[in-house]
Amino acid sequence: MKSITLIKGDGIGPEIAESVLEIIDSSGLVIDWDIQTAGADVIAKEQTPLPDRVIESVIKTGIALKTPITTPIGKGFRSVNVQLRKELDLYANVRPSYNLPGIKTCYDNVDIIVVRENTEDLYAGIERQIDENTAESIKRITRFASLRIADFAFNYALRNNRKEVCVVTKANICKLSDGLFLNCARETAKRFPQINFREILVDNCCMQLVQNPNQFDVLLLPNLYGDIVSDLCAGLIGGLGIAQGANIGTDCAVFEPVHGSAPDIAGQNKANPTALLMSAIEMLSYIGENDIGYKIKTALFETLRAGIMTPDIGGNYSCSKFTNEIIKRLRCII
């Protein structure tokens, strides 16, 4: 039996985790879930939002499914998500965005993969207060991390039959840091003559994504632009409720949706579990359970095609009723 860590965060995390666990359970696949809680809710008991036991579990199982964790805005503890990615060296954040059946959007045939560097840049949160009116953040980019993520993006493109990698920077302004990231991508591209290589500035990229997203294939970005652009890409296909993601390292992988803890709808049975479910399907394929993953995806797509959806994508089904509908269809497939 495969052991997988389930990192249960806060906000809508528990609701969507319950939904996805129920669906996987109904597929007949038996998983030994090592359930680990993290985030604001564990601080009172364990004095930290990210206890060592969480990291230890992922190191042991090598694989985790994770729900979002709230990060206090403008104050409070450091992001657990950033800390987790750093401690486990989950250097590649892969976020596919493609149209799902039945969900009406402004665009058809979107099929974009965001490959985001996951360990450095402004996102590392290296900041200092100079005086009461001045603060600074360090944008640290290294050749090592930039070459490593560029190599990942080109290999991903090759393995997945993609045609192009487009590197996205602001190297006209951040000449040293983004310039280094860009040069590492250029250098790596030379080793992959089969893959078309393109360069674009991040502001133009955002405009082009909104105007004509079909022109893009694999996007390669430093951490902060990757974070922002992947939410934009989620918007192109129907929103955060359906946007999946994976954090990949050398020794382990953590699968999690793009979205956050959605405090505005937490505890109301309104959350869309699709983004976590799609992340879990990707995780199943990662561990070699492609057949089960395919069946779950088919049940999900049939449900959406029938117009059964949560409110964020235009439906009126609650999280639990939507889950039951997927399970009903899954039982006919299994």
Give φ, ψ of 161 to 5 degrees: 60, 35
The reply on whether position 69 binds ligand NAI by CB under 6 A is yes
Q: Kindly state the smallest distance separating residue 306's Cβ from ligand NAI, in Å.
A: 19
Q: Kindly state the smallest distance separating residue 98's Cβ from ligand NAI, in Å.
A: 17
Q: Give the 3-state secondary structure of residue 4.
A: strand
Q: Kindly state the smallest distance separating residue 68's Cβ from ligand NAI, in Å.
A: 3
Q: Kindly state the smallest distance separating residue 323's Cβ from ligand NAI, in Å.
A: 13
**CA distance linking residue 89 with residue 87, whole number of Å:** 5
Q: Count the site residues for ligand NAI by CB under 6 A.
A: 21
Are 146 and 134 in contact by the 8 Å Cβ rule? The answer is: no
Are 323 and 22 in contact by the 8 Å Cβ rule? The answer is: yes
Q: Kindly state the smallest distance separating residue 184's Cβ from ligand NAI, in Å.
A: 26
Q: Kindly state the smallest distance separating residue 334's Cβ from ligand NAI, in Å.
A: 25
Among 121, 256, 289, 325, binds ligand NAI (CB under 6 A): 256
- Among residue numbers 84 through 143, which ones bind ligand NAI (CB under 6 A)? none
- CB closer to ligand NAI, 256 vs 289: 256
The reply on whether position 261 binds ligand NAI by CB under 6 A is yes
- CB closer to ligand NAI, 12 vs 113: 12
Q: Kindly state the smallest distance separating residue 199's Cβ from ligand NAI, in Å.
A: 28
The reply on whether position 279 binds ligand NAI by CB under 6 A is no
258: left (phi over 0), alpha (psi -120 to 50) or beta: alpha
**CA distance linking residue 7 with residue 41, whole number of Å:** 13
The reply on whether position 68 binds ligand NAI by CB under 6 A is yes
Of the ranges 147-155, 164-172, 194-202, 267-275, which one interacts with ligand NAI (CB under 6 A)? 267-275
User: What is the DSSP code (8-state) at residue 184?
Assistant: H
Among 275, 281, 284, 330, binds ligand NAI (CB under 6 A): 275
Question: Which residues lie closer than 8 Å to 329 by C-beta, 6 or more apart?
Answer: 298, 299, 302, 303
* Structure-block tokens of residue 127: 């900041």
Among 81, 230, 247, 324, binds ligand NAI (CB under 6 A): 81
Give φ, ψ of 221 to 5 degrees: -135, 150
Torsion 304-305-307-312 (CA) sign: positive
Task: For the beta carbon of residue 290, count every other beta carbon within 10 angstroms.
Answer: 12
> Which is nearest to 123 in space by CA: 156, 159, 149, 158?
149
Q: Kindly state the smallest distance separating residue 259's Cβ from ligand NAI, in Å.
A: 3
- CB closer to ligand NAI, 240 vs 304: 240
Are 42 and 72 in contact by the 8 Å Cβ rule? The answer is: no
Q: Kindly state the smallest distance separating residue 81's Cβ from ligand NAI, in Å.
A: 4
- CB closer to ligand NAI, 197 vs 273: 273
Beta bridge partners of 168: 200
Q: Which amino acid is at 296?
A: I
Among 265, 281, 284, 304, binds ligand NAI (CB under 6 A): 265
Are 31 and 24 in contact by the 8 Å Cβ rule? The answer is: yes
Question: Which residues lie closer than 8 Å to 123 by C-beta, 6 or more apart?
Answer: 82, 223, 224, 227
- Among residue numbers 283 through 322, which ones bind ligand NAI (CB under 6 A)? 312
- Among residue numbers 221 through 250, which ones bind ligand NAI (CB under 6 A)? 240-241
Catalog residues that contact ligand NAI under the rule CB under 6 A. 9, 12, 68-71, 81, 240-241, 256, 259-265, 271-272, 275, 312
